A and B are shown apart, each in its own frame.
Chain A
């Protein structure tokens, strides 16, 4: 049945490819080209500067500072989010396994899942604006609570370089955990009950069960989660820009904001900003390739 094969391939493939080529590939190619110029963005004049932007980049302390924060995000956000996700998901799935209390456990589970998932349906802009107000030192929810329990001088949170970055990181975790609770929960329910029951009869504790049974069986899902969260951690731009704008004293800066600030913010060095973007591109690419390769190898091992 060869008839209709070619028309289908062409008509199915060409429109998406055209859109992708025009709106994704061509801008990126141009961005690579801009990264080798000193274009300032308010006129058409620009000179070729070769790799000078990239050399500047290597010695730019602000860029390295931002990269360090991205590295922390990359290391912390996936671990904490996945750990919390696994913890809550196992609580909720096994909540129904507690003897006579099982019925209430199940009802609670549905409600918990409903609530935990809330942040997932809110836009990042809303999350950022809301949390910025929550962290506000005088009129914020958090310090209101701290003062109520007797803390006379609660921290200034986003105004304090010791806390600002971690406050943003916490919001990142907060907004993601719910999704992974639901994701892991669904994966756990796909695990046959008898496995758990057999282990329970052997007298294993819940922690052992999580470590020995649940996590290995969920490994595939966890890895997918890892990749998504890693890519999210490399971005973080909207949260940081709206909550702290990188401050105080650049303590919560991230590479995305550096690029934005260099082009649309305090400076208009589009050439240099594009160079930062190109560096970011290779960074994201290597993280993703690394993650995908590990994932593929492991999938073979487990399937």
Chain B
């Protein structure tokens, strides 16, 4: 009888578990073994095998199944398999990285490669402060898989190592190069005879014109309003220079209330005051707002360069989305109009306690090979952080504008990382403030106050590890 068997099994288990539980010794926090078996699989290092991969060691890869899907990862796995035919590769994809993997981290049996991304990503601050991530330094020093004479580090776009480093250790490989800007449809603008405005005053004038034509100038993801913090902070950085971002990242006192931030917030308040935002936007999620934008209900939207891939299914033919930098506030701007926020995104990591850490690093080397990178570009129409990944690949319209914007931005490109250091600050606190601000319920001053209060609460929280960056 099955039921009886269950009973017997649980009764037997009860004899084992109950006394332990009673004494509180079998409890979760003390049960784990801190030594773990990180890197249990070790092979012999050689010129062909610089990372010391054990050729028959199994490799487990968990992919975030978001805008990029999982097919690109399967291709990378196939390349790894080709090199190590004896290795058994376990692939899985999920949209809930944290829920799926958190127990396994606690348990000390995490997978070998984790694509820690999406709304349900695991907080990096916690992972780093608990030494749960393997150091990827060895990977940087290893020779590139298919670019002769270069190390992996040599093949990476600038900024990649910095963004993934915590206290000088390279722990997170951000695989895609993401550009954050303001998007519009080239077709819509051509049809109506509009052209993208380079200064804020012209932008407001254009918005007025767009509104008069019966189209909402702006929409945004009201349920994830942090998307609007990106252009606002970008505007401030272009006005005041990269030190604006540095102060925010380093949680400096009143960093959010700097003059540049104040001017930027006042400027952006205009699109709220003048009702330039599509009605109902505060109730839309990112997908709904982007879809409304694709349908021509709104002219502008703030997003990263994953937008084109994410909207593939609903973008009308000939829509031709274009990314552009935020308009300049005036001639006093420290950075030129062309300056745009670009950063490595889409984080991948190898848990410190993964059994096959060497395999994990080798998998990254496969992803960062020219072949792996070009295959990624072809499959998901996005830029990997590998130089030359787009060579010989025909780019879709939006991505081509991304590449162009990056070129134009050049050395003026900027970025901030507080969202990586303190996930909660952007995801919860700044997010909530943006929601209030862009729905017109609070003033620019109140908005910056609320952001600052959030930053202060993080700064004062002893349980959160703090990071500083130099420049």
Within 8 A of A (CB), among B215-266: 222-223, 225
A26 and B21 within 8 A (CB): yes
Contact of B280 among A25, A138, A245 (CB under 8 A): A138
Known contacts being A30-B28, A156-B283, is A42 close to B439, with CB within 8 Å? no
Within 8 A of B (CB), among A262-277: 264-269, 272
B55 located at the interface, meaning its Cβ lies under 8 Å from any Cβ of chain A in the complex: no
- Tell me which of B172-180, B314-322, B365-373, B422-430 binds A: B422-430
Contact of A26 among B17, B105, B282 (CB under 8 A): B17
B463 and A41 within 8 A (CB): no
A187 to B282 Cα, complex, angstroms: 45
A22 and B21 within 8 A (CB): yes
Contact of B283 among A30, A159, A249, A267 (CB under 8 A): A159
A266 to B419 Cα, complex, angstroms: 11
10 interchain pairs (CB within 8 A)?
A19-B14, A43-B130, A44-B32, A137-B280, A138-B283, A159-B223, A159-B282, A159-B439, A160-B439, A247-B435
Closest-by-CB residue of B relative to A43 is B130
Chain A contact patch, size range? 35 or more
The residues of A that contact B423 with a CB separation of less than 8 Å are: 266-267
State how many angstroms separate the Cβ of A289 from the closest Cβ of chain B.
Answer: 25
A268 and B102 within 8 A (CB): yes
Which 9 A-B pairs give the minimum distances between C-beta atoms?
A159-B283, A44-B32, A156-B283, A137-B280, A26-B21, A159-B282, A137-B283, A249-B432, A30-B27
A232 to B23 Cα, complex, angstroms: 33
B14 and A34 within 8 A (CB): no
A130 to B130 Cα, complex, angstroms: 40
Within 8 A of B (CB), among A1-49: 14-15, 18-19, 21-22, 25-26, 29-30, 33-34, 37-46
B10 and A19 within 8 A (CB): yes
- Tell me which of B120-128, B137-145, B397-405 binds A: B120-128
Within 8 A of A (CB), among B403-439: 423-424, 427-428, 431-433, 435-436, 439
B212 located at the interface, meaning its Cβ lies under 8 Å from any Cβ of chain A in the complex: no
Chain A interface, >50% SS class: loop
Closest-by-CB residue of B relative to A261 is B428
B47 located at the interface, meaning its Cβ lies under 8 Å from any Cβ of chain A in the complex: no
A124 to B261 Cα, complex, angstroms: 43
State how many angstroms separate the Cβ of A57 from the closest Cβ of chain B.
Answer: 13
B279 located at the interface, meaning its Cβ lies under 8 Å from any Cβ of chain A in the complex: yes
B105 and A42 within 8 A (CB): yes
A22 and B435 within 8 A (CB): no
A119 located at the interface, meaning its Cβ lies under 8 Å from any Cβ of chain B in the complex: no
State how many angstroms separate the Cβ of B347 from the closest Cβ of chain A.
Answer: 15
B123 and A264 within 8 A (CB): no
Q: A40-B129, A44-B31 are in contact. List 5 more A-B contacts (CB 8 A).
A: A42-B127, A143-B280, A158-B223, A158-B283, A159-B283
Known contacts being A22-B14, A143-B280, A156-B282, is A42 close to B106, with CB within 8 Å? yes
Known contacts being A22-B18, A156-B283, is A248 close to B428, with CB within 8 Å? no
A196 located at the interface, meaning its Cβ lies under 8 Å from any Cβ of chain B in the complex: no
Within 8 A of A (CB), among B11-69: 11, 13-14, 17-18, 21-22, 24, 26-34
A33 to B427 Cα, complex, angstroms: 30
B284 and A15 within 8 A (CB): no
A267 to B26 Cα, complex, angstroms: 25
State how many angstroms separate the Cβ of B181 from the closest Cβ of chain A.
Answer: 24
A266 and B284 within 8 A (CB): no
A135 located at the interface, meaning its Cβ lies under 8 Å from any Cβ of chain B in the complex: yes
Within 8 A of A (CB), among B264-321: 279-284, 288, 292
Known contacts being A18-B14, A248-B436, A267-B424, is A42 close to B132, with CB within 8 Å? yes
A154 to B108 Cα, complex, angstroms: 51
A33 to B413 Cα, complex, angstroms: 49
The residues of A that contact B105 with a CB separation of less than 8 Å are: 41-43
A18 and B11 within 8 A (CB): yes
B283 and A42 within 8 A (CB): no
Contact of B463 among A34, A38, A143, A261 (CB under 8 A): A38
B283 and A29 within 8 A (CB): no
A249 and B435 within 8 A (CB): yes
